[in-house]
Amino acid sequence: MTTVLVVDGANVVGARPDGWWKDRAGAARRLHESLLVADVPQEQVVLVLEGAAKGGVRPGRDGHVRTRHAKGNGDDEIVAAAQDASEAGHRVYVVTADRILMGRVERYGATVLTPTWLLAELG
C-alpha cells in the first residue's frame, strides 16, 4: 500500500518564526525544496499551498512531491487531497496543527502528524 503525506504548507511554514511572513512565496519555495530532498517515510508527498504562498511553487508534480494550490480555503484543499488519496487506496498522513482540520481528515482514515515532526524530518 502506498503511503501519502499531505502537508499543510501554511501550518508548517508558520511553525518556525524565521521571518516567513515577509516572503510567503519564498517560504513556500524553501519548504518545497526541502520536501524534494527529504527522507520521509512516505512514498508520496502532497504540498498544499494557499494565498501568497502559491507564488513560490507552481502546481504539479516534481519527483515524489505534488503541489496543489487551494482555490479558496487551504483546509478544504487539504481535506480533498486526503480524501483523494484515501479513495485511491493509499495510507494517508496529514501534517497540521489545526485541531478542526485534524477532525476533518481523520474521517478519511488519515493519521495526523505535527509540523514539529515534519520539521525534525527535514532537518
Domain that holds residue 28: 3-122
Rounded CA-CA distance 117/15 in Å is 11
| pLDDT number for residue 75 | 97
CB atoms < 10 A from the CB of 98, how many?
18
pLDDT of 34-49, one tens digit each?
999 999 999 999 999 9
Category of 63 on φ-ψ map: left (φ > 0), alpha (ψ -120 to 50) or beta: left
The CATH number of residue 15's host domain is 3.40.50.1010
CA-wise closest residue to 121 among 2, 61, 37: 37
- Across 66-84, average pLDDT: 96
> Is residue 88 within 8 Å of residue 113, measured between CB atoms?
no
pLDDT of 3-30, one tens digit each?
999 999 999 999 988 889 899 999 999 9
Question: Over 90: is that where the pLDDT of 115 sits?
Answer: yes
Rounded CA-CA distance 64/4 in Å is 10
Rounded CA-CA distance 81/91 in Å is 12
Given strand 91-95, what is the order of strands in its sheet? 60-62, 65-69, 44-49, 3-8, 91-95, 111-113
Going by pLDDT thresholds of 50, 70 and 90, the confidence category of residue 123 is: confident
Question: Over 90: is that where the pLDDT of 101 sits?
Answer: yes
N-terminal to C-terminal alpha carbon distance within the chain = 27
Number of domains in the chain: 1
**Which residue type occupies 54?**
K
> Is residue 67 within 8 Å of residue 57, measured between CB atoms?
yes
| pLDDT number for residue 1 | 87
